[in-house]
Structure 1
Amino acid sequence: MRMLMADQGVDWTEEVVIYDDNWLKGDLKKETVFGQLPGFKDGDFTMYQSNAILRHLARNHGLYGKTPVEAAQIDMVNDGVEDLRLKYVNLIYENYENGKEDYIKALHTEHGHFERILFKNKGGKGFLVGDQISYADYNLVDMLMNHQVLAPGCFSGFPLLSAYVTRITSRPKVKAFLSSDAHKNRPINGNDKQ
């Protein structure tokens, strides 16, 4: 979400929730729809759920493809990113010590899916779907940057994926955001495992 908003020139204010203070002892958890964060406020409208927020931002900023078919393809690819993110979250929060080696081995297969998706769209020279960036691109790049920290060299054998991450993270506003303290000082995961 942050990368998308930075790239689209959206100004935002972030409220960091401290687990023990704001969350456990406060009323914030009761206010959330499903008892979890993140939350997003857009004027008087408040919503929760990361992917719902991403899709809301995508619709508001023209990041949902040019046709209904492109929108469906973007949703499909993003669901694939989320399947991978669930595996990653399980590793990081539930099975890090025993599962890291197997997770890293499986990255070859997982990255292969996205390499093929890129190749099918103009030989991998652009985005996941169509000829403009979508919310799924930001979501995938975020996930792949986590993989680069977890397993340096994990793009070996995936030249399109490697070039894609470089291309997206080199966009001027994305690059500025990724270089900012707002990004660099944020832990990748809440438990400091990476």
Structure 2
Amino acid sequence: MSGKVVLHYFNGRGKMESIRWLLAAAGVEFEEVFLTKREHYIKLLDDGALMFQQVPLVEIDGMQLVQSRAIMNYIAGKYNLYGKDLKERALIDMYTEGMIDLLDVIMLWAIETPENKQKQLSNIEQKAKERFMPVFEKGLANSDFLVGNQLSRADVHLLETTLTLQEIFPTILSTFPKIQAFQERMKALPRISKFLQPGSARKPPRDEDLIPTLKEVLSHYYK
């Protein structure tokens, strides 16, 4: 295993995108190996790299990490994006879990069949406006950051989440001025700005294009 950070996943957002965001915010360069054929997946299984027979897989510090939350926890802890103490970490975790819940709904919507996609849109918009965005707006009422006085993974995930929402609902933040100001501050950070530029490792919002590849690589799930 090389000393480089290597990501094994499909060439799309999915469960890996938040990991890419965290690594970018930490200033960590990484390589990506995209699963395009079932043989790639079988080789990872045969090599014993997939503890639960699932990706994403991240090679880092001589380890083969799986389970997206475990991967992100490790990266956040390693690169000082996880608060100054256990109390801050607990708050960061609560914010993060809420954002993961919302991103998971969006991810599932992106690969829905055409007849079901429209029905899911209003549900996503309502949840975002009524359940999630008010929490983050309140969290930013008196600080530039969601937790404490320094950048944490919660801030990185919030930028990713809100930008993803705006791809679907361009005006969704119109009644959340604190989040809008937060976005501008975050986008001005050099590492974040670099990740937002064309040609970066950030993936476009079309995970539905991955469905044929998913069905081939993970054919045992689609029988």
Whether 1:86 and 2:104 are equivalent positions in the alignment is yes
Whether 1:97 and 2:123 are equivalent positions in the alignment is no
Deviations 1:93-128 (A, max 9, x none): 344232113322332112112111222xxx2x4111
Shift of 1:162: 1.1
Corresponding residue of 2:83: 65
For structure 2, which runs of at least 5 residues remain unmatched after alignment? 1-18, 211-223
Corresponding residue of 1:129: 147
- Distance in 1 between residues matched to 2:20 and 2:136, nearest whole Å: 22
Q: Choose 149-158 or 93-102, whichever is displaced more.
A: 93-102
Relative distance call for 1:19 and 1:49 in structure 2 (3 A) is farther
Whether 1:138 and 2:156 are equivalent positions in the alignment is yes
Whether 1:55 and 2:70 are equivalent positions in the alignment is no
Corresponding residue of 2:127: 106
Corresponding residue of 1:28: 44
**Which amino acid in 2 is paired with 1:2?**
R
Whether 1:187 and 2:209 are equivalent positions in the alignment is no
Contact 2:83 2:148 in 1 (8 A): yes
**Which amino acid in 2 is paired with 1:118?**
L
Shift of 1:7: 2.7
Shift of 1:20: 5.4
SS at match of 2:33: coil
How many aligned residue pairs are there?
Answer: 186
Shift of 1:21: 6.0
- Distance in 1 between residues matched to 2:161 and 2:45, nearest whole Å: 26
Identity of aligned residues (%): 28
Q: Choose 147-156 or 46-55, whichever is displaced more.
A: 46-55
Relative distance call for 1:129 and 1:19 in structure 2 (3 A) is farther
TM-score norm. by structure 1 comes to 0.85
- Distance in 1 between residues matched to 2:104 and 2:25, nearest whole Å: 25
Corresponding residue of 1:176: 194
Relative distance call for 1:161 and 1:133 in structure 2 (3 A) is same
**Which amino acid in 2 is paired with 1:13?**
E
- Distance in 2 between residues matched to 1:103 and 1:53, nearest whole Å: 26
